[in-house]
């Protein structure tokens, strides 16, 4: 019989400086080694979840949504989503862990964590793995993991599993024995996981470099901060089954965990917008939007034709079918507030193709007069709200942000952030620093690469032939500089 195994614990590059592979690389590797199910469990972060789900869909791999969550007691547990409620709870836990704490005794910003009471309040819909060697059962201050393990078991009930690893180290034998004894003591099942930090074995040097950057040291200085082997990669079912042939229950149980995690991000997640507060006597959001558009229509078009009216009716009918009236009302409300405070604001992009946006005052150009195609902005085929980008005068934007938070509540409004990636020159300088190369050598190497180096570039393709990289490869550090 062909072995089966689901990998329940893997970090990507969104575990900043402790994950060496992109979500896409993990999905590709899973497909290559025959894993049909893979969980992404980045540390206190869900930033890679959508990319991971999309990559798994392309590769034919079933993605499990999850994360590692740092605990105030020490260590981090693995949380996997059983359903949409579990995803909501996981998002709330990560947010609470990262939110600047009001309690002066709480961990400072940059060291996220939650206490057990917060974890218990958001436990439903989640499966919890103990986290293995980096989990709270290893990090307990008393040295006795049983009390904390018991507390986690009480919180999660039959959704709590003791996680066990085998990274081909001598110390793993004793660690596995302790973990199995603890599981037996608690009467809770145990499960195998890889705690992968990179997709393939050959990616380990990248992880080593990231760890050195995190600790501001060179490879020579890193010591036991680095993993002693390349075992923390994704392995196929046959390899895992062979490693655990004397105790196969933990391998088979990964399938049990995967089966109970029925949440699919791309299938089940339909974020809802805050309800727009309607004026008294207004029957619904569609009626209110139509009234605002009619008022704006009279203001925008002094001599409208039937074509103008037909386009407005068509757009409002589509907005009603898609249930997007509240979305347009919220955007209009933000624009209205900004203008009431004399804050310069203007909609841009494909929203300019909409008569509704023009009548609401969100955009300033007549889409009919300019023969703009409305379907470029919104159509029946879209399963999500359209993009309406607002340019707001930078010096006054804080007024508008404060209004949005006050009007719609901080639980329904958030700032969007970007994940900054290292460009070629920066990556080369960082790698040179990790290797302990002199600054002048790092500079010479960086000058040979452009700002945009493909992610699959090698030393043969990233550097100019005959330059400092070739000299360095031949052992000439002084000449390379």
pLDDT in tens, 399-430: 999 999 999 888 788 888 888 887 788 888 99
> Number of C-alpha atoms within 13 angstroms, CB side, residue 370?
13
**40 membership: H or E segment, kind and range:** strand 37-43
Torsion sign across C-alpha atoms 308, 309, 314, 315: positive
pLDDT the model gives residue 158: 96
Q: Calculate mean pLDDT across residues 238-245.
A: 95
pLDDT the model gives residue 449: 78
Q: What would the two tokens of residue 216 be? A: 């501001």
CA 270 to chain centre: 17
pTM score:
0.84
pLDDT the model gives residue 235: 97
Per-chain mean pLDDT for the chain: 89
Picking from 200, 202, 203, 207, the residue whose alpha carbon sits closest to that of residue 222 is 207
Beta bridge mates, 345:
392
* 338: pLDDT strictly greater than 60: yes
Q: Calculate mean pLDDT across residues 272-293.
A: 90
Cβ proximity of 137 and 164 under 8 Å:
no
d(CA 134, CA 74): 9
Q: Calculate mean pLDDT across residues 49-54.
A: 97
Lowest mean pLDDT among 105-119, 190-204, 251-265: 105-119
* 283: pLDDT strictly greater than 70: yes
d(CA 272, CA 253): 35
pLDDT the model gives residue 412: 80
Beta bridge mates, 191:
163
User: With b meaning 16 or more CB within 10 Å and e meaning fewer, what string describes 442-460?
Assistant: bbbbbebbeeebeeeeeee
Under DSSP, is residue 317 helix (H, G, I), strand (E, B) or coil?
helix
- pLDDT tens column, 149-196: 999 999 999 999 999 999 999 888 889 999 999 999 999 999 999 999
* 475: pLDDT strictly greater than 70: no
pLDDT the model gives residue 273: 73
pLDDT the model gives residue 2: 80
Choose from 107-111, 159-163, 450-454 the range with maximum mean pLDDT. 159-163
pLDDT the model gives residue 278: 92
Torsion sign across C-alpha atoms 230, 231, 234, 239: positive
Q: What would the two tokens of residue 8 be? A: 């329940």
d(CA 96, CA 121): 12
Residue 352 confidence class, pLDDT cut points 50, 70, 90: very high
């Amino acid at each position: 019989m062909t072995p089966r195994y689901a990998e329940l614990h893997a970090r990507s590059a969104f575990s900043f400086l402790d994950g060496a592979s992109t979500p896409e690389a993990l999905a590709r590797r899973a497909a290559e080694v025959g894993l049909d199910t893979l969980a992404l469990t980045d540390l206190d972060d869900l930033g890679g979840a959508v990319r991971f789900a999309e990559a798994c869909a392309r590769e034919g791999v079933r993605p499990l949504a999850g994360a590692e969550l740092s605990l105030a007691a020490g260590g981090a547990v693995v949380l996997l989503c059983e359903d949409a409620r579990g995803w909501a709870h996981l998002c709330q836990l990560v947010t609470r862990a990262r939110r600047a704490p009001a309690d002066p005794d709480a961990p400072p910003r940059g060291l996220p964590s939650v206490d057990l009471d917060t974890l218990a309040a958001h436990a439903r819909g989640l499966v919890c793995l103990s986290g293995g060697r980096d989990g709270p059962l290893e990090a307990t201050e008393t040295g006795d993991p049983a009390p904390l393990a018991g507390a986690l078991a009480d919180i999660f009930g039959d959704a709590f599993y003791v996680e066990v690893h085998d990274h081909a180290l001598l110390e793993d034998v004793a660690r596995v024995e302790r973990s199995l004894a603890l599981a037996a003591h608690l009467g809770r099942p145990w499960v195998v996981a890889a705690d992968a930090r990179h997709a393939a074995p050959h990616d380990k040097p990248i992880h080593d470099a990231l760890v050195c950057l995190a600790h501001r040291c060179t490879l020579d200085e890193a010591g036991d901060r680095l993993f002693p082997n390349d075992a923390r990669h994704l392995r196929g079912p046959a390899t895992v089954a062979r490693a655990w042939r004397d105790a196969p229950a933990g391998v088979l149980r990964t399938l049990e965990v995967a089966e109970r995690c029925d949440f699919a991000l791309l299938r089940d997640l339909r974020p809802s917008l805050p309800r727009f507060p309607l004026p008294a006597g207004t029957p619904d959001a569609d009626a209110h939007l139509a009234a605002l558009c009619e008022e704006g229509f009279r203001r925008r078009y002094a001599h409208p034709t039937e074509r103008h009216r037909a386009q407005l009716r068509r757009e409002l009918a589509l907005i009603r079918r898609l249930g997007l009236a509240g979305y347009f009302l919220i955007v209009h409300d933000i624009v209205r507030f900004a203008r009431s405070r004399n804050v310069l604001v203007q909609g841009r992009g494909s929203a300019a193709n909409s008569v509704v946006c023009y009548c609401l005052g969100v955009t300033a150009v007549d889409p009919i007069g300019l023969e703009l195609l409305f379907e470029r902005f919104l159509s029946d085929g879209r399963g999500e709200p359209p993009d309406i980008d607002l340019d707001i005068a930078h010096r006054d934007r804080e007024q508008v942000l404060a209004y949005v938070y006050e009007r719609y509540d901080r639980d329904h409004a958030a700032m969007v952030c970007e994940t900054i990636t290292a460009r070629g020159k920066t990556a080369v300088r960082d790698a040179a620093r990790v290797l302990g190369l002199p600054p002048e050598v790092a500079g010479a190497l960086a000058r040979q690469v452009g700002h945009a180096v493909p992610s699959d570039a090698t030393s043969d393709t990233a550097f100019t032939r005959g330059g400092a990289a070739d000299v360095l490869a031949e052992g000439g550090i002084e000449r390379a500089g």
